[in-house]
Amino acid sequence: MHEPQVVIERAGPADAGEIFTVQRAAYLAEAQLYGDPFLPPLVESLEQLRAALDGDAVVLKAVAGHRLVGAVRAQFSEHTCLIGRLVVAPDAQGRGIGGRLVAALEQQVAGRVDACVLFTGHLSEAGLRLARRLGYRETHRERVAAHLTLVHMRKDLVPAVAPG
């Protein structure tokens, strides 16, 4: 069977329900990995997600056919973009969708920030591997609970060259 092409585009408030569902499904494996059902992406409410989509965050979605299969969120702090909530539907993982979402996000914010930062849990091998493959380097680790150490990573962005 031919799989539909994955298209990456801007998400809006109307996508909140689908993003919410994919986010829950994607983070369940993380919750099991850390033995923690209260990871922030799992306790975020639909209203909080809708507010993020309505606010100044940049949210991209990956759509295959008529189905939302992934999303990523960016928030801004001075000259830095914090990448968060990178999610891919469990049955669509391993196909490069997460990498494409991050690359598209970096392109979107390139003129606005000098660097992108992200963090993931120390046991999240796939997430750490993906970040390293995309050029992110570890800056520090932060122990936030007995069972969880966050690995903070950063990538400097090359400024977008203005046509001229």
pLDDT tens for residues 22-79? 999 999 888 888 888 888 888 899 999 999 899 888 999 999 999 999 999 999 988 9
* Cα separations in angstroms, 131 against 46, 116, 125: 27, 11, 10
Residue 1 lies in a domain: no
The answer to whether residue 120 scores a pLDDT higher than 80 is yes
Domain that holds residue 129: 6-156
146 part of a folded domain: yes
Phi then psi for residue 25, to 5 deg, are -65, -45
Q: Of all residues in the chain, what percent carry a pLDDT higher than 70?
A: 95
More confident residue, 69 or 145: 69
Mean pLDDT of the chain: 91
Rounded mean pLDDT of 114-141?
Answer: 94
Structure tokens at 59: 């949210």
CATH code: domain of residue 143 = 3.40.630.30
**Six-digit token pair at 109?**
């914010």
Give the Cα-Cα-Cα angle 101, 150, 100 (nearest 5 degrees): 10
pLDDT confidence bin for 162, thresholds 50/70/90 = low
Check if the beta carbon of residue 73 is closer than 8 Å to that of residue 19.
Answer: no
- Does any domain span residue 163? no
| Residue 161 belongs to a domain | no
Buried b (16+ CB within 10 A) or exposed e, 104-113: bbbeebbeeb
CA distance 70 to 52: 16
Total structural domains in the chain?
A: 1
Confidence of residue 159 (pLDDT cuts 50, 70, 90): low
Amino acid at 112: R
- Domain-embedded: residue 162: no
* Total count of residues recorded for the chain: 164
